[in-house]
Homo-oligomer: A and B are copies of this chain.
C-alpha cells in the first residue's frame, strides 16, 4: 500500500536510530550484573510502544525480568494478533572476538553489528515500527497486542506464569513472532516448525580433592577423562544419539516431506566456507537441512575441569563439568527427554566417580499448521513484498514458549523470521542486515491485512 510505503520512506532514518538506541542497552538476562540495564531496556520498549500508538502499555513485573505489554484494540469484533518478542540478549562473551563493542552498534557493509541486532531486538522492533506505520496512517486492519519479554535467553521461566495469570488480557487469534531466520532475501522462507530444547548440566566427581597426577595418576579415576568417555559414548559411529528411548517419539517425515525440505536452495561449499570447516558432521542418512531441522541433536555447550590457566599444572582434578543441550523434534517431550538423559547419564557412570545431573530449562518442539489462515497470510505477505512465495523450512532453533502458547492460550504461532543463519546469533559480531530490517517493517503490515481479510 502506497500510504505505508510513503510513511516508511519518510521515517526510515528515525526507525534505525531508535533501534540503535535500544541496542546500546546491554540487556543481558543471564548475568545479574546487568539487571539494571534489563530494567532500563523494558522501560525503553514501553516508551516506544506508547509512541507507536499502543495503549495500556505496562512494564509488568515478574519474579525475574519484567514483561512489556501493550495493545491497540480498534474493534473487538475484528481478529487479534498477539505479537511476541524479547528484549533480552545473550551474554556478549567472548568479548575479545568482537570487532566492535557488542553494545556500541556500528553499521558496516549495510549491516548492523551489535548483540541483539538480530536476536531479537532488531526483529521485534520491526513489529513496533510496522504497527506504527499502520497506526499513524489509520490503516490498522485488526487488533494487535504486544508481549515483549526479558527472559527468552534464560528459558522464559516467568513468562509461563504471566500467561497463566493473564489469559483474558492475552486473548487473541494467533501469535506472530519474528525471531528466526529465512534462507536469504533472494530466497525468502517461512518456518514450518521449531525444535524443542532440553538443557542439562552434569558434574562428575572423582577423588574428594585435586590430586598430584604423578602420585595418584593411573590409579584413581580422572573425572575429566570419565566425563569425556561418557560424552563420547552419547553419539555412536553414525552420530546417532545413544540415550535409550531418545528417538522413540520422533516423528518421521514422509519421503515427500523430506524431498520438499531438501528442495530448498543449499550450497554446501558456501556453507562450509562460511564456517571455515573442511567437512560437515552429523547423523548418518540425513542432509544438513534435515539435521538442523527435523532431527534431534545433542551438543556440548560447555565443558570444564582441572587446571585451565596459563602454563601447566600436574593435577588430577576432583571434578569435571559440562553443559549439554538437546534439540528436540515432534513429538519429543522435553521433560521426558531430560529424564531419559539423566537416567542414562547416571547409569553409564562408572562406580569410580559420582555424577550429578541438573536440568537448566527446556521447551517442547513445535510444528506450524500450514493450513492455518495465519500461515496463508504470512505466505501472501511475503509474496507481496518479496515478489515470490516463501520456501517452507524447519527452523533448527527453539522458542520454548511457543508450545506454551498453544497449551495455555490455545493459540497457533506463526514464525515469520527475517534474519539469516549467518547473523552470528549467540556469537561474537552478531549482525542484522539493514535490508532485512526494512523488509520486515514493509512485510508485517501485509500479514495483518491478509490475516484480517482471510478471517472474514
User: 8 Å CB contacts to B: which residues of A180-204?
Assistant: 181, 195, 197, 199, 201
Q: What CA separation (Å) do A213 and B206 show in the bound complex?
A: 29
Cβ proximity bits A308-327 to B, threshold 8 Å, 1 near / 0 not: 11111111110011110101
Interface size class of A (residues with CB under 8 A): 35 or more
Q: Could you say which of B306, B312, B360, B427 contacts A303, with CB atoms under 8 Å apart? A: B306
- Bound CA span A231–B351, Å: 20
Answer yes or no: A235 CB below 8 A from chain B CBs: yes
A90 closest partner in B (C-beta): B313
Nearest CB on B from A282, distance (A): 5
Return A366 CB to nearest CB of chain B, in Å: 12
Check if A215 is an interface residue, CB within 8 A of chain B.
Answer: yes
B228, A232: Cβ atoms under 8 Å? yes
Given A218-B282, A225-B235, decide whether A213 and B299 contact each other with a Cβ distance below 8 A: yes
What is the CA–CA distance of A327 and B220 in the complex, to the nearest angstrom? 14
A155 near B214: Cβ-Cβ < 8 Å = no
List, in ascending order, chain B residues with CB within 8 A of A232's CB. Answer: 225, 228-229, 231-233
Query: Which listed residue (B201, B208, B215) contacts A396, Cβ 8 A?
Result: B215
Query: Which of B155, B195, B215 sits near A421, CB closer than 8 Å?
Result: B215
Query: Of B231, B306, B314, which contacts A228 at CB under 8 A?
Result: B231
B224:A303 contact, CB within 8 angstroms: yes
Q: How far is the CB of A403 from chain B (nearest CB, A)?
A: 15
Q: Is A288 an interface residue when CB atoms closer than 8 A count as contact?
A: yes
Q: Is A154 an interface residue (CB 8 A)?
A: yes
Chain B residues with Cβ under 8 A from A123's Cβ?
Answer: none
Residue contact B228 to A197, C-beta cutoff 8 Å: no
Known contacts A154-B312, A426-B314; is-contact A214 B396 (Cβ 8 Å) = yes
Per-residue B-contact encoding for A224-261, CB less than 8 Å = 1, 0 else: 11011101110100000000000000000000000000
Q: A280-B352, A351-B279 given as contacts; is B215 within 8 A of A311 (CB)? A: no
Q: Could you tell me the distance between the alpha carbons of A276 and B220 in the complex, rounded to whole angstroms?
A: 11
If A225-B299, A228-B228, A300-B306 touch, whether A360 touches B277 (CB-CB below 8 Å) is: no
The answer, yes or no, to whether A383 is at the interface (CB within 8 Å) is: no
Q: Say which residue of B217, B295, B320 sits within 8 Å of A299 (CB atoms).
A: B217
Question: With A and B bound together, what is the CA distance between A283 and B304 in angstroms?
Answer: 25
Task: Tell me which of B277, B288, B312 contacts A207 (CB under 8 A).
Answer: B277
Q: Is the CB of B30 within 8 A of A219?
A: no
- With A214-B398, A352-B278, A396-B216 as known contacts, state yes or no: A302 contacts B297, CB within 8 Å: no
- Indicate whether A91 reaches chain B with its CB closer than 8 angstroms: yes
A379 at the interface (CB under 8 A from B): no
Would you call A305 an interface residue if the criterion is a C-beta within 8 Å of the partner chain's C-beta atoms? yes
CB contacts (< 8 Å) of A370 on chain B: these are none
What separation, in Å, do the CA atoms of A310 and B31 have in the docked complex?
7
For residue A416, CB closer than 8 A to chain B, the reply is: no
10 more A-B residue pairs beyond the given contacts A213-B297, A221-B280, with a C-beta to C-beta distance below 8 A:
A31-B311, A91-B307, A155-B312, A208-B276, A215-B421, A218-B297, A225-B232, A227-B303, A280-B352, A304-B305
**Which residues of A pack against B, CB within 8 Å?**
30-31, 90-91, 93-94, 97, 154-155, 181, 195, 197, 199, 201, 206-222, 224-225, 227-229, 231-233, 235, 275-283, 288, 291-292, 295-297, 299-317, 320-323, 325, 327, 350-354, 360-361, 395-398, 421, 424-429
- Pairs A–B under 8 Å by Cβ, sample size 18: A31-B311, A209-B424, A210-B426, A210-B427, A213-B301, A213-B426, A214-B398, A218-B282, A220-B275, A222-B299, A227-B303, A228-B303, A229-B232, A232-B232, A232-B233, A301-B306, A302-B306, A311-B360
- Nearest first, the 8 A-B pairs at minimum CB distance are A214-B397, A208-B276, A218-B297, A232-B232, A221-B281, A302-B306, A224-B300, A228-B228
